[in-house]
Amino acid sequence: MKQIALCLLLAGTSVVQAQIRNTEVYELPHLDKSNERNVINIPGFGNYETLKCDFHIHTVFSDGLVWPDMRVQEAWQEGLDAIAITDHIEYRPRKEVLKGDRNESYKIAKKAADAKGFIVIQGTEITRSKPLGHLNALFIQDAEAMDVEDPLKAIDEAKRQGAFILWNHPGWPDDKSTLYPVHEQLLKADKIDGIEVFNYAEYYPAALDWCDRYGKAYMANTDAHGLVASVYGWGDKLMRPLTLVFASERSERGIRDALSAGRTVAYFDGKLAGSPELLEKLLKACLSVRPIGDNRLEVTNRSDLSFEMTGGGALYRFPARKVVLIDRPKTTAFTVENCLTGNKKLTLSFPE
């Protein structure tokens, strides 16, 4: 009798695992994860939510290897809130095969994004040798209008369309991060609004200093050409560099307003880079503190970000999604070892 019951139970299990499509095909829907998405837990603060964004991505319409709607799929599954499609204006090695114009990759990605409630921003990469280098124009309407010989005229056209201009990978390709006079002019004229401090797997310490000095948005992006997971690994979250955007709403408008106000923090390889005000607000939104008796503190980190702090001669680690019990520190003056502001580590008073 027991054996019969077990057989019935196993039969029931297999029915849950496989669904009959017809008498000749059984479907195994649990093997298809394409409608599942990670939740990346990074809290907001004040009136802002934290959006996880990647503002530098290529497709087959320039020198990328991926079709635009797969860009949306991989970012959506990974748990991002928004991406920008930024194919090169000038470099389109497959234009004889792919007939669409410079706006086509965005249009394809936008259609795929709308079907998922995901945000895709129209952008393009203005591509020149150094000294100018590469700049992304984000929130544009027509990339074709930027196909002009003088890159400064392309920037002006992008600005006329309402663009946010991002200075890409300042240390590439010659392994020198040089602030040329043209950059200084563009920074001062607000024709560069943000700088990539991290691009692909590169990190530019000098760019942190420029963000601080000129009050520009700190950005971290993939500059993906192949599949993102083929570079950063499969299946986990917080693998790729991300620009964290503190937005009053989860929309393209919300992101545009936040970028205009410089409300970003760059995330890369466990480090965070941004202004001291934003970094402190983000850290204090992630960590909550409860006194345990007179001598101990319970610190809860509900976020997917980890923090490492030093103070009073001690090192404190607050890993993602962990509760840590510590002896009450002898000081409230802390340095956050993995938070950078300009070229300095963030210092703050903790707990408050």
Residue among 105 and 168 whose Cβ is closer to Zn ion? 168
**Alpha-carbon gap, residue 210 to 204, rounded angstroms:** 10
CB of 58: closest distance to Zn ion in angstroms?
A: 6
Two tokens at 46? 């004040």
Binding mask 256-285 for Zn ion (x = CB under 5 A): ------------------------------
- Name the nearest CA neighbour of 210 among 348, 98, 343: 343
- Looking at beta carbons only, is 167 or 218 nearer to Zn ion? 167
> Which lies closer to Zn ion via its Cβ, residue 135 or residue 211?
135
Q: Is 54 in the site for Zn ion (CB under 5 A)?
A: no
Residue closer to Zn ion, measured from CB, 72 or 89: 89
Answer yes or no: are the C-beta atoms of 75 and 228 closer than 8 Å: yes
Q: Which is nearer to Zn ion, 125 or 212 (CB)?
A: 125
Q: Select the span of 5-13, 131-139, 274-282, 334-342 touching Zn ion (CB under 5 A).
A: 131-139
The CB-of-266 to Zn ion minimum distance in angstroms stands at: 16
Q: Which stretch binds Zn ion (CB under 5 A): 7-15, 38-46, 220-228, 338-346?
A: 220-228
- The answer to whether residue 134 forms part of the interface with Zn ion (CB under 5 A) is yes
Cα–Cα nearest to 43, from 254, 340, 302, 317: 302
* Distance linking the first and last C-alpha atoms of the chain: 65
Q: Which stretch binds Zn ion (CB under 5 A): 28-36, 117-125, 250-258, 302-310?
A: 117-125
Q: How far is CA 303 from CA 39, 72, 256, 307, 341, in A?
A: 11, 24, 25, 10, 21
Burial of 247 (C-beta count, 10 Å sphere; 0-12/13-18/19+) = buried
Taking contact as CB under 5 A, which single stretch among the options 154-162, 222-230, 252-260, 272-280 is the one that binds Zn ion? Answer: 222-230
| Min CB(311)–Zn ion separation in Å | 40
Site for Zn ion in 5-44 (CB under 5 A): none
Supply the DSSP string of 224-279, one letter for each residue.
BSS-HHHHH-SS-SS-S-EEEEEESSSSHHHHHHHHHTT-EEEEETTEEES-HHHH
Binding mask 75-114 for Zn ion (x = CB under 5 A): ----------------------------------------
Residue burial 37-51, b: 16+ Cβ < 10 Å; e: rest:
bbebbbebbeebbbb
List Cβ neighbours of 59 (8 Å cut-off, separation of 6 or more). Answer: 66, 67, 68, 71, 85, 87, 105, 109
CA dist 280 and 274 (Å) reads 10
CB 263 within 8 A of CB 278: yes
C-alpha dihedral, 71 to 77 to 79 to 81, nearest 10°: 40
CB of 221 to Zn ion, least distance (A): 9
Under the criterion CB under 5 A, does residue 223 sit at the interface with Zn ion? yes
71 sits near Zn ion (criterion: CB under 5 A): no
Cα 231 to Cα 221: distance, rounded to the nearest angstrom: 13
| Least CB distance to Zn ion at residue 237 (A) | 23
* Minimum distance, C-beta of residue 167 to Zn ion, in the bound complex (Å): 10
**136 vs 303, which CB is nearer to Zn ion?**
136
Binding segment for Zn ion among 30-38, 100-108, 160-168, 207-215 (CB under 5 A)? 160-168
**Closest CB to Zn ion belongs to which residue?**
134
The yes or no reply on residue 225 touching Zn ion (CB under 5 A) is no
Q: List beta partners, residue 289.
A: 299
Minimum CB distance to Zn ion smaller for 55 or for 318 = 55
Q: CB-based burial of residue 2 (10 Å sphere; 0-12 exposed, 13-18 middle, 19+ buried)?
A: exposed
Pick the closer one to Zn ion by CB: 51 or 57: 57
Q: Which residue in this structure is represented by tokens 């319970």?
A: 298
Task: For Zn ion, give the closer residue by CB, 58 or 110.
Answer: 58
Q: Applying CB under 5 A, which residues contact Zn ion?
A: 125, 134, 168, 223
